[in-house]
Structure 1
Amino acid sequence: MGKVRNILQAKGHAVYAIHPDDTVYEALKVLIDKNVGALVVLDNEEKFLGMFSERDYARKVILKGRASKETLIREIMTERPITVTEDDSIEECMVKMTDKRIRHLPVTDDNNRLIGLISIGDVVKYIIDDQKYVITSLECYINGTHL
């Protein structure tokens, strides 16, 4: 099974970020504009502070009757989210995502600096592509042909 680094090599290390003093409304506009389900929260020094997701919005704003134009990200973001490193296996990511019921994993380096973000969609795509490769390789082996 592959590693997180394999996913980041394919999709890149770019992440969409917001500042903790941005409003939830501003963050929602970014989610929609970028067609993503979560954003990382970075301070002015680019320090990784947490995550903001559609789930945070639903559970901590809408269901609590708060106003998205008045609520700041710092008030509702997920602080200290579960993270992974580039050396973690795809299988380990699946276990974390399933056990904790999360859809996004920030990727950090040894100094806890953010270097990427992977989603459950990235993980599933990697697994499907890997399985297709194995199947094709086995078919070639059985048929006596080469890839």
Structure 2
Amino acid sequence: MTTVAEVLNRKGHTVAATLPSESVATAARLLTEKRIGALVVRDRRGKLVGILSERDIVRAVATQGADALELTVEDLMTKEVKTCRPADTVKDLMQMMTLRRHRHVPVCDDAGDLVGVMSIGDAVKARLDEQAHEVAVLKDLALVR
């Protein structure tokens, strides 16, 4: 079973982050520039305090119009962030993401430090790679017989 740590080791541990005091417009530009779907929100000490997704911004613009871009990240971010651990399996992570409807999950180590972010795309790719490997092994076994 593939773990979150294995995926992060392949894809990298880079985390795009913003401060709660930044404008939503600035955060939207960063999302576009980095070609990502969510930003981790950290306080000035680097502690995880929230997550802001494209979906959060779209909802705000839909209800408040362009004025939503003048809000702060703190106004829109999800403050109760569900995280996972490096030792978690990708299969378990996908189940949690599906049940909670999360597309991005910060990864924290045992000390509570942020070590990466897993997207639903990362998880799906890892599971597909895992299943392709299993199929290859089964084909090899079938050839041995």
Task: Note the C-alpha offset of 1:68.
Answer: 3.7
Counterpart for residue 57 of structure 1? 57
Name the CA distance, whole Å, in 1 between partners of 2:71 and 2:129. Answer: 41
Name the CA distance, whole Å, in 1 between partners of 2:16 and 2:68. Answer: 19
**Alignment RMSD (CA, Å):** 1.4
Counterpart for residue 92 of structure 2? 92
The question of 1:10 aligning with 2:10 is answered yes
Q: How does 1:1-147 map to 2 (within 5 A)?
A: 1-59=1-59, 61-65=60-64, 67-144=67-144
- Residue identity in the other structure for 1:81: V
Task: Note the C-alpha offset of 1:133.
Answer: 0.9
Name the CA distance, whole Å, in 2 between partners of 1:137 and 1:116. Answer: 30
* TM-score for both structures, normalised by structure 2: 0.94
8 Å contact kept, 1:16–1:39: yes
SS in 2 for 1:50: strand
Name the CA distance, whole Å, in 1 between partners of 2:49 and 2:111. Answer: 14
Name the CA distance, whole Å, in 2 between partners of 1:53 and 1:37. Answer: 6
Q: Which structure has the highest helix share of the two?
A: 2
8 Å contact kept, 1:23–1:68: no
The number of equivalent residue pairs is 144
String of CA shifts for 1:52-110, please: whole Å, max 9, x gaps.
00111122x21331514420001110012111000111111111111011101100112
Task: Note the C-alpha offset of 1:113.
Answer: 1.6
* TM-score for both structures, normalised by structure 1: 0.92
Name the CA distance, whole Å, in 2 between partners of 1:54 and 1:8. Answer: 22
8 Å contact kept, 2:91–2:127: no
Task: Note the C-alpha offset of 1:3.
Answer: 1.1
SS in 1 for 2:51: strand
Name the CA distance, whole Å, in 2 between partners of 1:63 and 1:112. Answer: 35
Name the CA distance, whole Å, in 2 between partners of 1:117 and 1:69. Answer: 24
Name the CA distance, whole Å, in 2 between partners of 1:21 and 1:82. Answer: 21
Name the CA distance, whole Å, in 1 between partners of 2:18 and 2:78. Answer: 13
Percent of aligned pairs with the same amino acid: 36
